[in-house]
Structure 1
Amino acid sequence: MRILLGIFAIAIYGGITFYLGWNLRAWLNSLQVFRWPILFWSVLFLTSFGYFIGKLHVLLTPLTVLGSYWMFFLQYGLMLCMIANIIVFFTPLSTKFVGTGAVGILLVLLAVGTYFAYTPVVRQATITIDKPGEDMRVVLGSDFHLGLLSGKGHLEKFVALSNEHEPDLVLLAGDIVDDSPQRFIDKGMGEVMESLQSTYGVYGILGNHEYYGNEIPEFKQAMKESNVEILMDETLLIGDRFYLTGREDLTNKKRLALSALQPENKELPWFVMNHTPDDLDEPANLGVDFHVSGHTHKGQMWPNQYITKKIFELDYGHRQKEQMHALVSSGFGFWGPPTRIGSQSELWVIDIQFNK
């Protein structure tokens, strides 16, 4: 059954790729610049499967880059092609005119999306917890996907913004690397991460992509050398002031229930990191005060945010559920195409005030 489903999915994907190629060929023909059809279709299908082919060997890495950008053209190219086909069919406008307009819109979207992906913003929130404590500032980052396209320069932006706000605590809520930590190690990103400044330290958790890479021991060691403590179903008492729990990702079907990670002292604040915001009821019922997640990317590219809103109770931003403050970040990096439409790379600065 899985093989049949895989064949069906590849057939559908191949059909969409052919549809896009057919439209691109029609536009190029209208400009009288279409040449070498065999080469055209070969390059097109190689690019469409490039993201996966490029993972097979380091020498094929350029195909991963092409494949990443292809995901952008797949989504917006498909929408624009359907609109263009309708316009050409029902109006006297030519394929040349409509096609050129569609390509122009696509390039503008690519430029805008690239800007929003590589130009992070700082989101701020202030929350109040009805427990004893001294006011503190937390910086939250997630979904960096550090690797090929989200690299050292992008990480340097995060470190600079975080240090500028002088946090007491830095939380990295999963998908820190894009599958494998090898590029993080080879490109010296650990030296950048190591320069993060925080009163109580820097803590992270695993996301689904750390599991996809299947190099968790290597990842944990790289983070340790970068002064980032990775919590895997662990609860720590930090500075005798608050408890911090880092959950295993939902990808791990054997992860512990949150009830097994409850702190001993119920009077102190309890913070929880869970990469995927799959369940807010359990932490709210158990008395968690501050719950942070990532994973959703806020859909990353419009209109995908309408899908994430349907899947998750909270797919983005801050919400109070009973006594618990939940916050979901759209992420500092990106997955697949280095573009964001309808979202922007971000880090959160959360000022926590205590009532008692």
Structure 2
Amino acid sequence: MFLLLAGLLAVLHLYLWKRLIRDTLPRGRTRTVATAVLVLLVLVMVAALALGTTLDPAVAQWVAWPGYLWLAIFFYLLLALLVLEPPRLALRRWAGREPDPPARTGVSRRVALARGSAAVAGVAAVGLVGYGVTVAMGPPSITRVPITLRRLDPRASGCRIALISDIHLGPIIGRRFTQRIVDLVNAERPDAVAIVGDLVDGDVPALADAAAPLADLSSTHGTFFVTGNHEYYVGYRQWVEHVRTLGITALRNQRVTITHNGGRFELAGVNDATAYQWQDAADVAAAMRGRDPERAAVLLAHQPVDVADAVAQDVDLQLSGHTHGGQLTPFELLVSQQQGVVAGHYRFGDTQLYVTRGAGFWGPPVRVGAPPDITIVELRSP
């Protein structure tokens, strides 16, 4: 799979080379140097994708930062150039009617058109990525969402759950980022904290210090964790055990009863939707087995696609992450096709779904059109 991805990236970079270098620069030293720089960027990007979760974060950051930033710039360069292809084609006839000799500048219309397109694409890509870095590396916003549950005991009404997802601790995101999240959550004084997966991109020995502030999360009923797909890429068992040492309850196709102001509801959690590949499949039915059907049930599931099983088990509310809200627009279009939702509040009959955009990011430290957030879900009775 990785080799297929690397091959696709190489082919797409050939298109970039043609539009940004071959079409704009004459043969010679400048074109050779520009080509070498592009090849180097591709190699660093592939190294970031291949080694970002296997090397010590202190080492991996040296390839992660330039490699992932180039990945984002490459994406927006590619998008901008493709958008500019129709105007280029429309102006080909004009460029072909070149006066002889060419204009006083000595630059042909064809080259001027190529350079103009390259400049527009470059400015757009670098501008978007620069803005996206400030958004991704800035503090997540706090989104407060009241959700009414049809079966919630009126005494439990007002229970507030802090929903955190997709921190992705790794070579770029470390302890300082985690501490900021903890401070933001604690300032809200929630009644429970739910970490719905993709906490890490690396092993416990490398990232234990980065995750350590999570032990300071404070709430009435405690902190709960379910695995995301990225925990399985790096060895989920080590992280399930480690979060427990931080005072966090790992819900593995399990549920607990929350008693809030004398009112009770069920809080369940399931393994990631892809966990069957590691013989650790999600099982909403097992998590719900034996529940009181008169009592409201809230399900923590990393991926929104689990909502189909939640509906089948008559769950009142599912809380999820995974999508990052698309992270880099217009990726939300692909996310919608794969997950059926992107971010926000949805209804599926009597089952509701809320999807957070996540507090961190994966890969490029860039968010465009999908700012990070932590959601405070306030449960209300009818």
TM-score by length of 2: 0.82
Q: Is residue 283 of structure 2 the alignment partner of residue 257 of structure 1?
A: yes
Q: Offset at 1:43?
A: 1.1
The question of 1:130 aligning with 2:150 is answered yes
Q: Count matched residues.
A: 348
Provide the rounded CA distance (Å) in 1 between the counterparts of 2:162 and 2:12.
41
Distance 1:260 1:63, change over 3 A: same
Matches within 5 A, 1:48-63: 48-55=45-52, 57-58=55-56, 59=59, 61-63=61-63
Q: Which residue of structure 2 lines up, in the alignment, with residue 103 of structure 1?
A: 122
Out of 253, 256, 265, the position equivalent to 1:236 is 256
Residue 25 (1) aligns with residue 45 (2): no
| Residues 195-204 or 12-21, more deviating | 12-21
The residue type equivalent to 2:368 in the other structure is I
User: 5+ residue gaps in structure 2?
Assistant: 96-108
Conserved 8 A contact 1:54-1:61: no
Deviation at 1:96, TM superposition (A): 3.6
Partner amino acid for 1:220? Answer: V
Q: CA deviation at 1:322?
A: 2.6
Distance 1:10 1:122, change over 3 A: same
Contact 1:21–1:44 (8 Å) recurs in 2? no
Q: Percent identity?
A: 23
What's the CA shift string for 1:320-349, capped at 9, x where partnerless? Answer: 323322101121111110111110110101
**Which one-letter code corresponds to 2:224 in the other structure?**
Y
Structure 2 counterpart of 1:339, one-letter code? V
Q: Structure 1: which amino acid aligns with 2:347?
A: Q
Instruction: Give the secondary-structure state (helix, strand or coil) at the position aligned to 1:189.
Output: helix
Instruction: Determine the C-alpha separation between the residues in 2 that align with 1:344 and 1:195.
Output: 25
Which deviates the most, 305-314 or 133-142?
305-314
Once residues 294 and 253 of structure 2 are traced to their aligned partners in structure 1, the CA distance between those partners, rounded to angstroms, is 21
Judged with a 3 Å threshold, the aligned counterparts in structure 2 of structure 1 residues 95 and 69 are, in CA distance, closer, same or farther, namely: same
Q: How far apart, in 2, do the equivalents of 1:85 and 1:344 lie?
A: 30
SS of residue matched to 1:194: helix
Deviations 1:147-197 (A, max 9, x none): 111222222222122112110011011101124334321xx2333211211
Aligned to 1:210, which of 219, 231, 239?
231
Q: What's the counterpart of residue 65 of structure 1?
A: 65
Output the CA distance in 2 between the equivalents of 1:287 and 1:49.
44
What is the CA–CA distance in structure 2 between the aligned matches of 1:153 and 1:9, rounded to whole Å?
Answer: 32
TM-score with structure 1 setting the length: 0.88
The alpha-carbon deviation at position 233 of structure 1 amounts to: 1.2
Letter in 2 for 1:177: V
* Aligned-CA RMSD value: 2.6
CA distance in 1 between counterparts of 2:206 and 2:14 reads 34
Is it true that 1:118 corresponds to 2:137 in the alignment?
Answer: yes
Residue-by-residue CA offset, 1:191-222 (whole Å, 9 max, x unaligned): 321121110000011000000012x2321233
Within 5 Å, give how 1:103-252 maps onto structure 2: 103-119=122-138, 120-131=140-151, 132=153, 133-135=155-157, 136-185=159-208, 188-214=209-235, 216-239=236-259, 241-252=264-275
Gaps of 5+ in 1: none
| Counterpart AA for 2:65 | V
Structure 1 residues 13, 237: closer, same or farther in 2, change over 3 A? Answer: same
Residue matched to 1:288: 315
| Correspondence for 1:45 among 37, 42, 47 | 42
